């Protein structure tokens, strides 16, 4: 075996260009496959991460403006949701609606703790179900509860980022302490973990407290609720149509006016995202496999050229007593050595490229002024996929070398010696 490897190395040295072209085809195919899959996974992971911030079986309803005349009233009338809409939501759909809440917000608030402060806060009045629907993780303390709502307590829940600014030396010690807005004092009852894909500037107080402070009357802002027994896109669309019709009638808007109220159904959004990610995965694999096939074709062509160039050599070998199997083995081992070596190089470079993407654009977020999202998260490929792709190229390269090798092994010495 040692003599065979020495002979293969000698052949490679004498045919450096041919070997380099073969190796490039192998390495490039594996490199492109790994980078494509890594980039695709980065987009998919970011999309799934952004959507996983919310409970998938939940909806957010907000007021809009009528787009058509109805019941003697013109179009372009503003629709503001109120307590009657809240009651319709909570009591009108007992088989589907589970927990119901509402959300009102005031942007640009400032929180102060002694000499420390943080600005640009979005102060929201919410219900207790917000922690479940928006999947907030409490670090310490608790979230707003029913007693806070009932008694209109001046309780506040802040993010870990706010806590670091308001009490830099010991952020979590802020829980239980009194902090102030520009006009009122609140007791911190909990601190939640700031999410990477959000700005971390949302502070929460009881909905009833917020409405009293800002004199919102019976307005509810957004209505937020979770649901059950809606397991398909068709069922969700039927529910939305029924729900929209009942709310629209409450505001003397056409039952089918989709602009009167806006419904954000996170379940159907998740279904659309799943379909999109499946298509993206399929497209990436198709492109990657086609790239591998192009590499395999390149290896096959070069192996055919190799055998043709060495036909005279093989004739001499057979003339001095070489067995057909020895020639076949030589070509196959040469093919395996080249594809294995360059396949490993392509795999390592592909993994390195994915790690570079993860360290650069994988850490970036896009801030649209309301919240920040990540467009690229963990753009990597499992080591098992990398190894399988490399093994596939090695096997393909071996098979590619076997076809011309069998032909070379069967050639008669006298015919081989005549070959130029």
The model's pLDDT over 100-110, given as tens digits with 9 standing for 90+, comes to 999 999 988 99
Q: What local confidence, expressed as pLDDT, does residue 370 receive?
A: 43
Rounded Cα distance, 32 and 38, in Å = 10
Q: Label residue 387 by pLDDT band (50, 70, 90).
A: confident
Q: Report the predicted TM-score, pTM, of the whole model to 2 decimal places.
A: 0.68
Range among 143-152, 297-306, 311-320 with highest mean pLDDT value: 143-152
Whole-number percent of the chain with pLDDT over 90: 41
What is the rounded average pLDDT of the residues 186-207? 84
Nearest residue to 140 (alpha-carbon basis) of 170, 100, 112: 170
Tell me: pLDDT of 70 over 80.
yes
Q: What local confidence, expressed as pLDDT, does residue 369 receive?
A: 45
Q: Label residue 4 by pLDDT band (50, 70, 90).
A: low
Neighbouring residues of 2: CB distance < 8 A, sequence distance ≥ 6: none
Rounded Cα distance, 207 and 211, in Å = 6
For CA atoms 211, 213, 214, 216, give the dihedral sign.
positive
On whether the CB atoms of residues 241 and 249 are closer than 8 A, the answer is no
Q: Which of 78-87, 235-244, 308-317 has the lowest mean pLDDT?
A: 308-317
pLDDT tens digit string along 351-371? Answer: 888 888 887 776 666 654 445
Q: What local confidence, expressed as pLDDT, does residue 355 receive?
A: 84
Tell me: pLDDT of 89 over 70.
yes
């Amino acid at each position: 075996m040692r003599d065979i490897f020495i002979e293969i190395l000698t052949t490679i040295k004498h045919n450096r260009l041919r070997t380099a072209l073969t190796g490039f085809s192998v390495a490039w195919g594996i490199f492109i496959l790994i980078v494509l899959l890594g980039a695709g996974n980065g987009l998919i992971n970011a999309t799934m991460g952004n959507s996983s911030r919310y409970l998938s079986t939940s909806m957010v309803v907000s007021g809009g403006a009528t787009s058509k005349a109805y019941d003697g009233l013109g179009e372009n009338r503003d629709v503001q949701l109120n307590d009657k809409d809240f009651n319709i939501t909570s009591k009108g759909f007992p088989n589907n609606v589970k927990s119901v809440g509402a959300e009102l917000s005031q942007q640009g608030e400032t929180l102060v703790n002694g000499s420390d402060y943080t600005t640009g806060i979005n102060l929201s009045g919410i219900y207790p179900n917000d922690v479940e629907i928006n999947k907030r993780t409490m670090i310490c303390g608790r979230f707003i509860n029913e007693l806070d709502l009932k008694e209109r307590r001046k309780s506040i829940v802040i993010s870990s980022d706010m806590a670091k600014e308001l009490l830099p030396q010991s952020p979590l010690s802020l829980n239980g302490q009194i902090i102030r807005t520009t006009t009122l004092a609140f007791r911190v009852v909990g601190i939640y973990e700031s999410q990477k894909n959000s700005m971390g500037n949302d502070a929460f107080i009881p909905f009833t407290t917020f409405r009293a402070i800002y004199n919102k009357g019976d307005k509810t802002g957004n209505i937020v609720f979770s649901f059950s027994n809606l397991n398909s896109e068709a069922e969700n669309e039927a529910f939305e149509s029924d729900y929209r019709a009942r709310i629209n009638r409450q505001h003397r808007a056409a039952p089918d006016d989709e602009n009167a109220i806006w419904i954000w159904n996170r379940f159907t959004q998740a279904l659309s995202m799943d379909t999109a990610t499946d298509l993206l995965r399929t497209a990436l694999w198709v492109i990657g496999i086609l790239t591998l096939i192009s590499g395999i074709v390149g290896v096959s062509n070069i192996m055919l050229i190799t055998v043709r160039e060495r036909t005279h050599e093989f004739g001499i070998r057979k003339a001095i007593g070489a067995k057909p199997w020895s020639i076949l083995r030589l070509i196959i081992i040469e093919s395996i050595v080249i594809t294995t070596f360059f396949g490993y190089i392509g795999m390592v470079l592909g993994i390195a490229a994915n790690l570079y993407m993860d360290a650069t654009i994988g850490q970036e977020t896009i801030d649209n002024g309301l919240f920040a999202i990540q467009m690229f998260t963990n753009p990597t490929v499992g080591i098992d996929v990398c190894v399988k792709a490399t093994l596939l190229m090695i096997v393909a390269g071996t098979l590619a070398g076997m076809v011309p090798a069998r032909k070379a092994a069967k050639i008669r010495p006298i015919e081989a010696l005549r070959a130029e």
